[in-house]
Structure 1
Amino acid sequence: MRVALTDPIEPAGEAILREAGHETLLPQGSGPEALRALCAGADAVVVRQKLPDDLLDHAPRLLAAVRHGVGVDMIPVADCTARGVVVANVPGANADAVAEFVVAQMLAAARNAQAMHAALLADGWGAARGRSEAATELRGRTLGIVGVGAIGTRLAEIAAHGFRMNVLGNRRNPQALPPFVAYAELPRLFAESDYIALTCPLTPETRGLASAAMIARMKPGAWLLNVARGPVIEEAALLAALREGRIGAALDVFWQQPLAPDHPLRALPNVLLTPHVAGLTRESVAAMSTVACEEVVRILRGDRPRNFVNPDCWEASRARRRALGHL
């Protein structure tokens, strides 16, 4: 069968597909039209960028959409479920990478590393050392984590056991929090935390979760760290608070990506900006490629995936396979 790759993957993943007898396809060009053309004759797609919402209108053979990662907001899941296309993802494969990245964000903010680097290059040794006057330690500070799943739990472990931080957590099932994380409703979490890490998926419930009301509750000098999705934060409210200089923000994801050259965030001194790379390390990319391709092989041979995002579609997926002559 033919497996579309929205972007190149690690050789180990491609080898799994080849060994199963499948052919891989890459897009010719970029943008939604290139993705529609890529998937037109594909039986499965490995997803590393957002698929067009109308993709299935242009992909009559598609049986599976497997996310090379965790967040499935890049896939039109509801349409896939309705049409019998199996959706799977790779939860946990990049948990260490993202958790460590958030720690890097906190350390950079606490020690004023970015400003110190710039001052050393532009103004010399003394000016750079002066930036250390605002430095703080992580020990004893409070980290609030919104979305304590695989990533949030790993981050909490590092913060609590490695830096001896106080950790607050918010998730739908408070009983599932680890013992070293104290449950907090969002108003308390935003009000008491020195660092707030957003590690939740983007859903209708989490869209705009970091609202103007929540941002207004943040301590002066607190930092909002977003490795989830841009729309989890209310953009206008964050920009207003940053312009006032009341808080800081370390953002790896944005409302529109790539970040526009003239976006006002670029001109603010109290931000750390990175291009959606928190989950990308050599180790995590290799793991995501391997597991995603194993899921593709499993689905294409007619088995249920291990990480089934839309299990309600199973009977419809069997009907789709029959209609396409695969059963």
Structure 2
Amino acid sequence: MRIVATSPLHPEAEDLLRQTHDYVAAPDPRPETLRDWIGAADGIIVRSKLPPDIFDAAPRLKACVRHGVGLDFIPVEAATAKGIPVANLLEANRQGVVEYVVGAALSLARDFTGLDRRLRRDGWQARDGYHGVELAGRTLGVVGCGRIGRGVADAMRAAFGMRVIGYDTAPPRPGDTIEQVSLRAVFEQADVITLHLPSTAETRDLIGADLLSRMRPGALLVNAARGDLVDEAALVAGLAQGRPAAAAIDVFRTEPPEADHPFLTAPNLLLTPHIAGGTQESLLRMSLQSAEAMLRILQGQRPDSLVNPSVWDQHLTRLGAGT
């Protein structure tokens, strides 16, 4: 069968796929390119956002696997309507994102990037007036208490003895060690707030001017989840007013951002290009696990994380008929 990736995978994963199938990577992630390349594909591994009509151009497609966790890159309802199984990876980049959030919070608390710039510009006097803060004993607010959010909570609690409060759109889990509070309470009480919700109709622009204005003096914000969780204009205005005092942003509403995006000139803002989960180790895990999930689906074996289980019987029938 023919398997297409929207961009190249780790060489080990590509070698694995080529052992039994015809594997290719699309030359670029533009919608028109992906529509052309998916026409003869039996499976697609998704590393970039698919156009909403992509599955109309894929009459042979039998499997769609997300190279990661977030499903906003895939029109899942359209795949389900076509009887195409969709799988994602729940754990592959967890550690990378957890370590990013811990590092970003430390960098903001100690102002490493600002100190670096001032030292290069002003010399040793950059230390004059420096007021870094410690995280020990402070309150961490986790917005989205899934695997990654709980991983950050565990790490920050273990390293710094932080009190952890959290808000989630899902009901609390039995035995959860995160103290569940309202979203408003997270913003009113936490010294560091980290976002870990998926992008859905309910969560887009969830973090706006009202919540930002409620942040404690000196409070910090880290977003390594999805860019559209935050009202970007409200965040720029909030940074100018010291609410939050500083922020680390790994994700943007539109990626890549335009050259005149206001984040690029906003004060007290650490920016990274959507690499929180992109460590050498996690990229290898994601590539291998997405390749393994693809092979399982094309062999009629249910993957570990099947997003739309209602199509599985239909998928097995298609495989059996060779269509």
Report the TM range for the smaller structure's normalisation: over 0.9
Partner of 1:264: 262
- With over 3 angstroms needed to count, the CA separation of the structure-2 counterparts of 1:36 and 1:45, relative to structure 1, is same
Q: Deviations over 1:51-105 (max 9, x none)?
A: 1110011111111110011001100100001110110011111111001000111
SS in 2 for 1:134: coil
Cα drift, residue 175 of structure 1: 2.8
Runs of 4+ in 1 over 2 A off after TM superposition: 175-179, 243-246, 315-323
Q: C-alpha separation between the residues in 2 aligned to 1:35 and 1:60? A: 14
1:296 CA drift (Å) = 0.2
- Specify which of 201, 205, 208 is matched with residue 202 of structure 2: 205
Q: Partner amino acid for 1:32?
A: P
User: Quick check: 1:42–1:61 contact (8 Å CA) kept in 2?
Assistant: yes
Cα offsets for 1:11-67 (capped at 9, x unmatched): 221122123x11111213441111111211111111110011100111111111100
Q: CA RMSD in A?
A: 1.5
Q: How does 1:15-164 map to 2 (within 5 A)?
A: 15-19=15-19, 21-127=20-126, 129-130=127-128, 133-164=130-161
Question: When the two structures are superposed, what TM-score results if normalisation uses the length of structure 1?
Answer: 0.94
Worse overlay, 212-221 or 37-46: 212-221
Specify which of 273, 277, 296 is matched with residue 294 of structure 2: 296
Q: Note the C-alpha offset of 1:320.
A: 4.1
Unaligned runs of 5+ in 2: none
Secondary structure (helix, strand or coil) at the match of 1:169 reads strand
Residue 176 of structure 1 deviates from its aligned partner by 4.3
CA contact (8 A) 2:8 2:26 kept: no
**Compared with structure 1, are the counterparts of its residues 283 and 28 closer, same or farther at alpha carbon in structure 2 (3 Å cutoff)?**
closer
1:25–1:38 CA contact under 8 A, matched in 2: no
Tell me if structure 1 keeps the 8 A contact 2:7–2:29: no
User: Distance between the aligned counterparts of 1:193 and 1:156, measured in 2?
Assistant: 13
C-alpha contact (below 8 Å) 1:89/1:309 kept by paired residues: yes
Structure showing greater relative contact order (alpha-carbon pairs closer than 8 Å, 6 or more residues apart): 1
Superposition TM-score, scaled by structure 2 size = 0.95
2:172 matched residue in structure 1: 174
Q: Which runs of 5+ in 1 are unaligned?
A: none
Distance in 2 between residues matched to 1:93 and 1:261, nearest whole Å: 32
Q: In structure 2, what is the Cα distance between the partners aligned to 1:107 and 1:176? A: 30
SS of corresponding position for 1:175: coil
Q: Distance in 1 between matches of 2:175 and 2:197?
A: 14
- Provide the identity percentage: 45
Structure 1 contact 84–315 (Cα < 8 Å) conserved: no
Q: Does 1:241 align with 2:241?
A: no
Q: Is the 8 A contact 1:83 1:317 kept in 2?
A: no
Give the residue type in structure 1 aligned to 2:117.
Answer: A
- May I ask how many residue pairs the two structures share in their alignment? 321
CA distance in 2, matches of 1:33, 1:208: 29
Amino acid at match of 1:125: W
TM-fit CA distance, 1:224:
1.6
Secondary structure at the counterpart of residue 203 of structure 2: coil
- Matching residue's letter, 1:60: P
